[in-house]
Amino acid sequence: MPASRETLEERRRHLVSVAECLLREGSGIDFSMTELASRAGVSPATPYNLIGTKADLLARLLDEEFTRFDRKLSRKARKPGLVGLWDAVDHMLEQYLADPDFYRALFIALFRPDTQTFRKLMSERAVSLWGGFIEDALKDEALDAMPSSRSIGDVFVFQMGSVVYHWALDRWSEERFTNLLRATTRQVILPHLSGDSAEKLRKEIVQISGKKRHIRAGAEKIA
C-alpha cells in the first residue's frame, strides 16, 4: 500500500533533520546525497525521490528554519511598536546561540561563491519576514511619513547578515555577537524616527555600544 501523505512528509522532515546534523558536525553543505541517505538509513534513491536535488534539500532546510522561527515567535503575543521588533531580534539571538554549530555552518555555507541561489533564497525570505516586523513596529510609532518597509528591510537584513557571518567565521563571543546585532539593527531604524522615539533609541544604542568597550593604543576595541 502506498505511504500516506503524512508518512511521506515525516520522512522528508527526517532527511532535513539529518542534513542539519551533518552541518553541525562540520560537513557544511559539502555532504553528498549518498552520505545523507546512509546517515538517514534509507536507500540512495530516497532523498531524490522524496525531496529532489541537493538545491531542493537546501531550500527545504531554509523553509524549516524560518518555520521554526515563526512558530517560536507565535508562542508569545507580539509587543507593540519597536519593543516588538527588538523582542524578535532577541528571539533570533536566543535561537542562534542555542545551536551555534548549526548556524555557524549554515552562514559560512551561504557566503560561498557557489551558493548564490541558496543565499538569494534566504535573503528574500528574511527581507519578507523582517519587513513585516518593521512595518508593524513603525506603524505603531505613528510616524508623520511612513517609510518603505521593503527598503528598510533590505538594509536591516544586510546588517544582520553581516554581523551573523562574522560571528560565524571569526567565532565571536556570545557577548560581542549580542551587543553588535542589537546595536546595528537599531542604527538602521534610527534615521526613520524623530522626537522622543529617536532620542530614546539613540540612548539605547549608546548604552548597548558602550558595553565592554576598551581604549587600547588610541583605538577603540569592542570585546
Q: How confident is the model at residue 220 (pLDDT cuts 50, 70, 90)?
A: very low
Alpha carbon distance 122, 124 (integer Å): 5
Q: What is the pLDDT of residues 34-88, one digit of tens each?
A: 999 999 999 999 999 999 998 899 889 988 888 888 777 766 667 888 999 999 9
- CA distances to 75, 82, 181 from 57, rounded to whole Å, are 27, 35, 29
Q: What is the pLDDT of residues 47-57, one digit of tens each?
A: 999 999 988 99
Nine-digit cell at 69? Answer: 522561527
Alpha carbon distance 64, 23 (integer Å): 14
User: Looking at the predicted structure, is the pLDDT value of residue 20 above 50?
Assistant: yes
Whole-prediction pTM: 0.83
Amino acid identity for residue 86 in this structure: W
